[in-house]
Structure 1
Amino acid sequence: MDGMQVIDWDLAVATGTRLVRPGPQVSREEARQAVADLRRLSRVAEGHVREFTRIDTETAPQPATIVDRPGWIKANVDGFRVVLEPLTTRMAERRDQTPAIVSAVGSRVTGVEVGAVLAFLASRVLGQYELFLPPDPSGKEAAGRLTLVAPNIVNAEHELNVNPQDFRLWVCLHEETHRVQFTGVPWLREYVRSQMTEFLLASDIDLPTLLGRLRSAADAVAEVVKGGDGNLIDAIQTPEQKVILDRLTAVMTLVEGHGDYVMDAVGPSVVPSVADIRAKFHHRREGGSRLDRMIRKLLGVDLKMKQYAEGSAFVRTVVDRAGMDGFNKVWTSPETLPDQEEIKHPERWIARVIGAPALPEASGTTG
C-alpha cells in the first residue's frame, strides 16, 4: 500500500478521540469494579448462551476485551482498514483517474468525517463483537473479539436507574450470542467479509459517477434535515450493490435478531430484573435529541432497530414451529440463510429449508 490513501486513518482516530465526550465521572474503584464484573459476566453469559442456543463452538472462550471510548474508536478504525483494504488497493491501481487535488483533499476530509461518526457512536455503543481484526502477526487467523465499552455501560445503568449486575449480564448475553454465532458457524465470518468486499468493489469508482453520487448524498442529508426519508447508504449505491446489501442486511438482521431473541429468552431465568431493564432500554433505544435522531437516520441506525425487531420475530417464529434444532439449520451454509422476504415471512423459510412436515394422517397408512 503506497501513499495514496482513500481515508487518512490516523486522522480519523485523532479526530474521533478528540471529539468524543469523556464517559461518566466514576471513581477509580467503581471503574475497576465494572471492568472486573464485565470480564466475569461475559464468561457466565457464554455458558448460558451455548447451552440455550445449542451451537457448538470448538474454540475456547476468550475473555472479553474491556475498552474506553477512545479504545473503541481505535478498534473500529482497525476493523475498517481490514474491510476497506481491497477498495484502497483498487483505487491505487486506477490512480490515473484520480486528480491529485482529490487525493490531497479527499483523504483528510473523509478522515475527519469517519472520526466524527465514530465519536458519535463511541459514546453510545455498549458492546460489540468485532469481526474484522487486523491479521494476527503470528499468522494464526485472528478470531473476532468481544469488546465491551465500560463507561457506556456504566452510563446507561445510571441513566436508566437499573440494577448494575443484572444490566451487565444482560448486555453480555446479547454480545456473547454473536461470539457463539461466529465461532460456532465457521463459514459465517468469511461470508460476511466477502459480501462486504464485493459490495465495496461493486461501486463504480470513476470520478464523475462518484461526484454524482455524493451530490445525491448531499440531497439525502438535506432531505433528512427537512424530516423526509432517505439515508446516505441508499444515496451512494449502484444497483449491483443494492443486491449485495440486501444479502448483507438479511444476514445482519438474522444475527442481531438472534442476539435479541437469546437475550430475551435467557434473560428471565438469570437476570432477575429483566422486565424492568427491557422496558427502560427499548425506550432509550428510540430516544435521544433531534440531532441524535437525525444522525441515526442518516447512518441507517433506525433501520437497524427495525431489523432487531424483525430478526427476533423471525427467530421466535421458527423456534416455536420447528424447535431450536430446526432453527439451527439456518447455520448450515450461505444457502440456508434467509433472504429479506423470508425474514418477513418465516413460514417461507421453513418451507424452503426445513421442508413441509409430513401430514399426520398419512403416517399410519400404506400407499
Structure 2
Amino acid sequence: MTSIGGAEMVDWKLAVATATRLVRPGPEVGRDEAREVVAELRRHAKTSEEHVRAFTRMAPPPGGPEDPAARDTPVLVVDRAGWIKANVAGFRAVLTPLLEKMQDRRGGVPGGAVLGAVGGKVTGVELGMLLSFLASRVLGQYETFAPATGELPGAANGGRLLLVAPNIVHVERELEVDPHDFRLWVCLHEETHRTQFTAVPWLRDHIEGEIQAFLGETEVDPATLLERIREAAQSLAGGRPAGQEEAAEAGEGAAERGGRSIVDLVQTPAQREILGRLTAVMSLLEGHADYVMDGVGPQVVPSVAEIREKFQQRRANGAGRLDAALRRLLGLDAKLRQYRDGERFVRAVVDAVGMDGFNRVWTSPNTLPTKAEIAKPADWVTRVHGRPEQ
C-alpha cells in the first residue's frame, strides 16, 4: 500500500478483494472444456506470433539472453480474478508517484481529513468496484508496466500478455461465431501489441516517461479524485452521477456534454499537451493491431468477415445504458475512437509508402505521429518521408 507516515491513499489489497468478490461469474464451462480452451489459446498465441511478425516485418532486435529488449514476454491465460490482480499491480506501479504527491497534500485541502481517516479503505472498495465491472469485458491485454510475481510472471522489462479465457468464451457464445476462429482472431490482435513492445525496445520507456510526466503535472486534490471514483461506483450500484439524468433525457449530444470522464481531471496546458501525445501513441498501437488483425485474418481465420462485422457492432453498441454511462465516465469512448482513427492512419500510410515505409514510425519517439497527423496521415508521410502521400 502507498503510505507516507499515515493512512494509505489506496488499500490495494482491499481493491483486489472487492473486485474479486463482486465480479460476475464467467460462463458455465466444464473442467475438460476449460482445459481445452486454455490449451487452444496458448497454441493460437504462438501461431499468431509467427503470423504477426511475418505480416508486420517486426521482430525483437538481435541480442543475447541477457538483453531485456530481445527477451520474449510470457503469454498468460487467466480468469477474471487473475486479470484483476494483474491490473491492480499495474495501477499500483504507475500511480504510486501521484499518490505519494497527493498524500503530502491531503492534510491541507478540503476533504483531506476524511481521506486521512477512511480514504484508503473507501478508495480501495470503489476502485475494486470499477475493476469488477471491467474484468468481465476485457478479452486480452498487453501489460506494459506490472511487476512480475510468482503467480503472474513477466519479462524483465515488466511485459506480459494476458488472455482472459472466460471473457473470450462469453463473447464467442454471445456473437454465435465459430469459437476456434474467434480465439485465433483475438490472439492476432493481442499478439500485435506484444510484438510492438518486444520489437521496439524504447517504446515502453517512452510511454512510461509520458505517463509519469502527465502525473507529475497533476494538481488534483484527493477529494476531487475520490468524487470521480465515487461517481463511477454509484453507476455500478444502480445510481446515476449528478447531471446524467438530465443528459440522458436530453439526448446523446447532451450526454457528451453532461457526463464527466475521469480524463476530465486534466487541468494544465502541459497535461493537455502530454495527453495529446499519449492519445496519438495509443491510437497508433490500437489501430495498428486492428489493421494487422484484418490483414492476417482472411488468410488464417475462415469466418473472419462474420466475426469482424458482429464484433464491430458489439464494440459500438456496448451492453446497454449502464455500460454506456461507465464508458463515458471512464473515458472508454475515447478508446473506441482510437481503434477507428488509428486504423485509418495505418491503412493510409501503408497504402502510400508500403509496410517498410510505415515501419519507420518505430524508429524513435520523433517519428511517432502527432495527434494531428493521426487525423491527416499525409502530413506524417511528408514529415517522415519528405514527400506527399500519393
Q: TM-score, normalised by structure 2?
A: 0.85
Matches within 5 A, 1:1-367: 1-2=3-4, 3-58=6-61, 59-94=70-105, 96-97=107-108, 99-134=112-147, 141-206=156-221, 225-226=248-249, 227=251, 228-229=255-256, 230-239=259-268, 240-287=270-317, 288-356=319-387
| Cα distance in 1 between the residues matched to 2:16 and 2:54 | 39
Q: Is contact 2:76-2:163 (8 Å) kept?
A: yes
Which range is displaced more, 58-67 or 258-267? 58-67
Summarize deviations over 1:270-292 as a string: whole Å, max 9, x none.
Answer: 11110011111111112211111
Summarize deviations over 1:212-241 as a string: whole Å, max 9, x none.
Answer: 999999656566555521432343111222
1:364 aligns with none
Give SS of 1:80's match: helix
| Cα distance in 2 between the residues matched to 1:105 and 1:83 | 23
Q: CA 1:224/1:79 → structure 2, altered by over 3 Å: closer, same or farther?
A: farther
| Cα distance in 2 between the residues matched to 1:289 and 1:209 | 28
Q: TM-score, normalised by structure 1?
A: 0.90
- What is the identity, as a one-letter code, of the residue corresponding to 2:342? G
Q: How far off its partner does 1:136 sit?
A: 6.9
Q: How far off its partner does 1:331 sit?
A: 0.8
Q: Is contact 1:317-1:346 (8 Å) kept?
A: yes
Give SS of 2:161's match: strand
| Cα distance in 1 between the residues matched to 2:308 and 2:39 | 24
Q: How far off its partner does 1:21 sit?
A: 0.4
1:363 aligns with none
Give SS of 1:55's match: coil
Q: CA 1:136/1:188 → structure 2, altered by over 3 Å: closer, same or farther?
A: farther
Q: Is contact 2:290-2:343 (8 Å) kept?
A: yes
| Cα distance in 1 between the residues matched to 2:247 and 2:205 | 34
Q: How far off its partner does 1:297 sit?
A: 1.6
Q: How far off its partner does 1:26 sit?
A: 0.9
Structure 1 unaligned spans of 5+: 360-367
CA RMSD of aligned residues (A): 2.7
Q: Is contact 1:224-1:298 (8 Å) kept?
A: no
- What is the identity, as a one-letter code, of the residue corresponding to 2:264? A
Q: CA 1:164/1:225 → structure 2, altered by over 3 Å: closer, same or farther?
A: same
Q: Is contact 1:7-1:106 (8 Å) kept?
A: yes
Q: How far off its partner does 1:96 sit?
A: 4.7
Q: CA 1:220/1:214 → structure 2, altered by over 3 Å: closer, same or farther?
A: farther
- What is the identity, as a one-letter code, of the residue corresponding to 1:72? W
Structure 2 unaligned spans of 5+: 62-69, 233-240
Q: CA 1:216/1:45 → structure 2, altered by over 3 Å: closer, same or farther?
A: closer
Alignment size in residue pairs? 359
Q: Is contact 1:220-1:232 (8 Å) kept?
A: no
Q: CA 1:183/1:11 → structure 2, altered by over 3 Å: closer, same or farther?
A: same
Which range is displaced more, 62-71 or 152-161? 62-71
Q: CA 1:21/1:51 → structure 2, altered by over 3 Å: closer, same or farther?
A: same
Give SS of 1:275's match: helix
Summarize deviations over 1:245-285 as a string: whole Å, max 9, x none.
Answer: 11111100100000000000100001111001111111111
Q: Is contact 1:131-1:144 (8 Å) kept?
A: yes
Give SS of 2:172's match: helix
Q: How far off its partner does 1:4 sit?
A: 3.7
Q: Is contact 2:382-2:389 (8 Å) kept?
A: no
